[in-house]
Structure 1
Amino acid sequence: MARYHIETYGCTSNRGESREIERRLRDAGHHRVDGPDEADVAILNTCTVVEKTERNMLRRAEELADETADLYVTGCMALAQGDLFHDAGVDGEVLHWDEVPEAVTNGECPTTTPDAEPILDGVVGILPIARGCMSDCSYCITKHATGKIESPPIEENVAKARALIHAGAKEIRITGQDTGVYGWDQGERRLHELLGRICDLEGDFRVRVGMANPKGVHGIREELAEVFAEYDELYDFLHAPVQSGSNDVLGDMRRQHQVEEYLEVVETFDAALEYWTLSTDFIVGFPTETDADHQQSLELLRETRPEKVNVTRFSKRPGTDAADMKGLGGTIKKERSKEMSALKREIVGEAYAEMVGDTRADCLVVEDGVGDSVKCRDSAYRQVIVQNASEHGLDPGDFVDLEVTAHETMYAFGEPV
């Protein structure tokens, strides 16, 4: 897990994006520290309103790069004038804010601390269902902190979910290093059983399942897809990080699954669900990744067309086997990341474009957005923004039918029906 320091400059929009970055990092088990000298990772959310601000941002980026192991630069200046940081010799990676949490985690499993308990953040209840995983990925430092899977009894997790609902949770986020192997230490994978038990609880709420590695899901893919199809309480959303389209690279990563198993998981959910969201991750620039391997990853992305994709450049983590491998040059990783990110935006943008004109029933208002707007999630956990929310009387926790009126690459806009 990483200790992070974040600095935000500029407008309310930037502050909102930083808040979302921190939420995702916290969900993944990372911890904020007071200053860059104590951090493993520094995040600079930039502004570029005037030339003086630009100079200040460049200077601060240089300082942060000297004080921490990894620097990620995002925000307006990063997106509009990212080359300035490169030209200034800043040792950092320029990213869209939505890509920052995945870059910090480096494709690793989220880290649940030993004393992790459910928490309520607004109307979102975060429920860690287990700690540890069954994987031994060659690039992942998380395994040193968590060990193998430890699954509390189903009854214990159901009781925690019930308490969150009674406390006002409208969305329960099931989290863990690898939710798909829940129960493996007890002799059988039981995620599908746990989800059914939670969905049977009284109340009006939704459940989102966190990251589940393809190998764990593959063995229960039919049972899991049946549960998703049966319960409206479950967002039809599966986050299964494939990490590469090359079986050779997956072997070097020690990912346990092969591409064919990932494809079988996708095919099973396609058969069971008419409308759902596939989320996956790719690590580009792994030390043994060839140009041909990279092309296989691009082809897998084109074939499966996931509606949410996290693209991460490989970064060595101390104490891991991959850290001893001879790495690829930064230029190669940058070019491959750029190519995959462009394809990702094309595919995800098309998915949101197809939503325009449709009506999505029972969307949940999850949180306030920028200005007088709210962020909603439809049945497949796709984000729909409603502007002028106060005019519609919408607050977090409300359910609303929305007509999708427009879209951006990563989200849509809607109006109450």
Structure 2
Amino acid sequence: MARYHIETYGCTANRGESRQIERALRDGGHHPADGPEEADVAILNTCTVVEKTERNMLRRAEELDAETPADLVVTGCMALAQGEEFESADVDAEILHWDEVPEYVRNGECPTTTPDTEPVLDGVVGILPIARGCMSDCSYCITKRATGRIDSPSVEENVEKARALVHAGAREIRITGQDTGVYGWDRNRGESLLPELLDRICDIDGEFRVRVGMANPKGVHGVREELAGVFAANEEIYNFLHAPVQSGSDDVLADMRRQHEVGEYVEVVETFDEYLDEWTLSTDFIVGFPTETDHDFQQTMALLRETRPEKINVTRFSKRPGTDAADMKGLGGTVKKERSSAMTDLKMEVMDEVYGSMVGDTRSVLVTEDGTDDSLVGYDRAYRQVAIPGAQTQGVEVGETVDVEITGHNTVYALGELA
């Protein structure tokens, strides 16, 4: 698990984003450091309201770059509007949208929950951890030490927890775990119980949607048709799957000990394409793994172009103490940075295309959180983020489902008006 240091500048919206970043990091088993010099990663949430503020942000980024021995992440308004300024100032930082920060810090590792983790209701969002542990043994991941092998409560027990969340007011249930795809392997002789669990949750009385959390390709592959069928049969489930492939090279995947091969990941994608008219594929890539050659990286870029995931988490490899990958001779920082930049550029191209294609559509959006000023933020059936300026003024409340005409986009989310 990583130790993080986070600094926030600017308005209440930035402070709210930083709280959500911290909540996600703590949920993943990460802990705050005493200062940037003690951190595995430093996070700077920036403001860009006036020129003086920009100069202050650049100066602070330069200071943090020097103070922290590990990675620097810059997010917030200046990062998104003027990210090139940090590169021009020779600041070695990863420029990310705020909701990408937790995935980056996780470094490709599984999220970590504590043994006594219970469902949590956060506003109208219910967090339901369905199991603890995983069946993987990735060479770069330290999480395995904290979680152990999969330990799955029964389907009935998880359904009752979901029912309690719905009765408490949850309009969205987020299914979480180190690897939701292998839920039930310890109970069902190595076959996932996730499809059965989702079917049962969708039978609960009430109006809500369900988002399935991270599921490694190996666990999903064995039940891909059954799982895709459950998605297609239940309108409650967001058409969204987070299946982290990590590399487009089977050689690198073998060195990572990822268990799946590229072909199995592609078969999962093709199956969901067959069952669902519209859905969102989310995946993760680690660039700069110690054994990744130029050819391996080009295979990864080709896989991104082929499968065109709409949500992509790009992580520059960093060593975790005590892992097997930490003993490998690493690639230079410049190589990792160049590969990360190239992949991020392609990622933004894909996302811009997806959100641009939504303009002119009318979408059913579940509103889940406050936005900036009087806007609200929600998600459509494919779990694409939609911001609705002026929604609060027009009387919409968090938890409502509204029809929204998509009028524009900002690469990583859509903008809309109440239809």
TM-score tier (shorter): over 0.9
**Residue 366 of structure 1 aligns with which residue?**
368
Superposed CA deviations along residues 286-332 of structure 1, whole A, max 9, x for unmatched, are 11111111111111111111111111111111111111111111111
TM-score of the superposition, structure 1-length normalised?
0.94
Q: Matches of 1:86 and 1:390 in 2, distance apart?
A: 38
1:101-250 superposed matches below 5 A: 101-186=102-187, 187=189, 188-250=191-253
SS at match of 1:21: helix
Q: Matches of 1:2 and 1:386 in 2, distance apart?
A: 35
In structure 2, relative to structure 1, the CA distance for the partners of 1:81 and 1:307 (3 Å cut) is closer
Q: Matches of 2:270 and 2:54 in 1, distance apart?
A: 50
SS at match of 1:101: helix
1:385 alignment partner, one of 384, 387, 406: 387
State the one-letter code of the partner of 2:14.
Answer: N
Superposed CA deviations along residues 26-73 of structure 1, whole A, max 9, x for unmatched, are 443334456546644321212343437624652475257535644323
SS at match of 1:391: coil
CA contact (8 A) 1:62 1:91 kept: no
Q: Matches of 2:195 and 2:57 in 1, distance apart?
A: 51
Q: Matches of 1:400 and 1:140 in 2, distance apart?
A: 41
1:269 alignment partner, one of 263, 268, 272: 272
Q: Matches of 1:387 and 1:83 in 2, distance apart?
A: 27
Q: Matches of 2:317 and 2:68 in 1, distance apart?
A: 21
Q: Matches of 1:73 and 1:218 in 2, distance apart?
A: 36
In structure 2, relative to structure 1, the CA distance for the partners of 1:272 and 1:53 (3 Å cut) is closer
TM-score of the superposition, structure 2-length normalised?
0.93
Give ranges in structure 1 of 5+ residues lacking alignment: none
**Residue 331 of structure 1 aligns with which residue?**
334
CA contact (8 A) 1:65 1:90 kept: no
Q: Matches of 2:306 and 2:286 in 1, distance apart?
A: 17
Superposed CA deviations along residues 66-120 of structure 1, whole A, max 9, x for unmatched, are 3564432323444566566567776654444343222200011111111111111
**Residue 256 of structure 1 aligns with which residue?**
259
Superposed CA deviations along residues 224-267 of structure 1, whole A, max 9, x for unmatched, are 01100110110010000011111111111110000100010001
Q: Please, which moves more after superposition, 344-353 or 26-35?
A: 26-35
Q: Matches of 1:107 and 1:357 in 2, distance apart?
A: 36
Q: 1:404, CA displacement in angstroms?
A: 1.2
Q: Matches of 1:119 and 1:36 in 2, distance apart?
A: 30
1:2 lines up with 2:2 in the alignment: yes
Q: Please, which moves more after superposition, 319-328 or 71-80?
A: 71-80
In structure 2, relative to structure 1, the CA distance for the partners of 1:346 and 1:53 (3 Å cut) is closer
Q: Matches of 1:194 and 1:365 in 2, distance apart?
A: 25
Q: Matches of 1:66 and 1:406 in 2, distance apart?
A: 40
**Residue 401 of structure 2 aligns with which residue?**
399
CA contact (8 A) 2:58 2:89 kept: no
Give ranges in structure 2 of 5+ residues lacking alignment: none
In structure 2, relative to structure 1, the CA distance for the partners of 1:385 and 1:31 (3 Å cut) is same
Q: Please, which moves more after superposition, 199-208 or 51-60?
A: 51-60
CA contact (8 A) 1:7 1:44 kept: yes
**Residue 22 of structure 1 aligns with which residue?**
22
Identity level (%): 72
Q: Matches of 1:288 and 1:349 in 2, distance apart?
A: 31
| RMSD (Å), alpha carbons | 2.1
In structure 2, relative to structure 1, the CA distance for the partners of 1:245 and 1:183 (3 Å cut) is same
Q: 1:13, CA displacement in angstroms?
A: 3.6
Q: Please, which moves more after superposition, 389-398 or 343-352?
A: 389-398
Q: 1:393, CA displacement in angstroms?
A: 1.4
Q: Matches of 1:327 and 1:231 in 2, distance apart?
A: 46
